[in-house]
Structure 1
């Protein structure tokens, strides 16, 4: 894609990622809120179909690409959905009010561009923000809620009601670009991990175990797709991929950073939904050390991932998790370091390739 100057808006000569940056742009710029992951699912199916022995989609919309190996079965999962909204009301004047799908800080929503996904096709809109000098003191002090914002489509009310229905999904409208040593855009949570899953699947050939590469749905609203996968596949071992908090920015103490950009893939020890299996995270660390892959440890005070439902949905399963450190989560300007993305792909590949089914993960 080129802008009107003839230059590629995704390019930045200061960074040169080893991973498939064009695919990352396609994944992040494709829209898909929880329950409406269709367009993202099409990209994932296309990519996994080329490198797996079997590809299928279940009734919830989870995608499973299987590489046949031994009787021991491993699930590697990343979620397809992004945080977004659903239209809950259309006003008489033609403005749209929203219901959140996933966690949002309402303060960041004002003056953002969005895409409304109607049955007849997408419409561009903006979330309104009135000039600050026109606000009363009471309005300035009012607590912000998602239900208080409105979307302006720039259309007369009658045309809005013709095109838009209650329940139509809404996503942020943002491109993905390279910014120095980082990549930034919307939906890095969790499309950057879909990229790592796909790139690892491309590299892994003739594994000793059967590997299921899974793209799950509805993670942002309760880890729902992973729960179904945990029952349907009933794996011997599960590994979840997600982004994690990197608060390595001003106004945070070092103890609250959780992870830091540029320090490598994060091996999750716990979040508020799961404590990963000690022997699994120990082997992840051992593989990283043996292969010389930069890594750090993640202890996340709050927030959950698919790891939790993979661990217990179909009975007790040993689990591990890899995370891509990411700044500014659940905003249109999420940021990850290119080296951390590469490290995640490297460790995931090395871990699955070295899995024989003979490692003892018992407690």
Structure 2
């Protein structure tokens, strides 16, 4: 028994040192019968050598939710866990036909990043200073979309007198009132779904709306109406590039509605931010690479309204006609030239690898 307590205490100490320390990581994976793992910019690494026992995990699980054993019988358990210097998003679940327990942990800062710390160019504020319209933040899972959206909302909160309503699953960053009233709703606790939460929010006098994810027809339709009717709307999607966010949003609508919805999107879209997170060249940190297309002056409206011209947005970004829109490969090339990231990592996240390989070859 004393050996078990010593092992549990040793693991607890290592865990608390990790989450409270300065090491750069995004997630921790703890699984009964396996070593503890941490996701660094260079991938998953062990941080506790011996396989974890239930005794090792139990003190941590009990502190997250004392009734976790009963609750995970039906489904995985999502819980926030507040520490003095960070906030943990914890998901407790069963594995191996109920024979093992696992815990996924994501570390979040207590306060959103300042907008200038995200890695986005300063002129992204052009979108945020609009009173109405739609801003899409898109990218793969784990690309920092939540962090970017939180930084955008915090900028608005600090610079505008208004009412911000968010619909999230779960709430990642707790936003404190500054210049604005902030109402944060969590799906499915405070509202049944993104679409129902958005419809309810429109009756609560919002100036700014944030939707955690557009994933169905109802949410897409309400987002378009809200952006067109005088609200500033921020929303995330999962797509492989900026143009993909526009085409995916329109794909939620049946063909007979596509023309009308394209016109609505063309008039309300302020811009799209597509982003990826890469390891820095030394592997000690993350670096943001972002593709951006702006429409705050209706720059790409004509391409959006005509489905046959949607692909032409890519050439528009390359021409840099508005000095703001930029394709991902241009940004990746810049980061490689500045030695902030390696060429190998740049090629790994590029969606047009052949083009980037040629661009990198021309520089050498």
Taking structure 2 as the reference length, the TM-score comes to 0.27
- Indicate the structure with greater helix content: 2
Bigger relative contact order, structure 1 or 2 (CA pairs below 8 A, ≥6 apart): 1
- Pair member with larger Rg: 2
Taking structure 1 as the reference length, the TM-score comes to 0.27
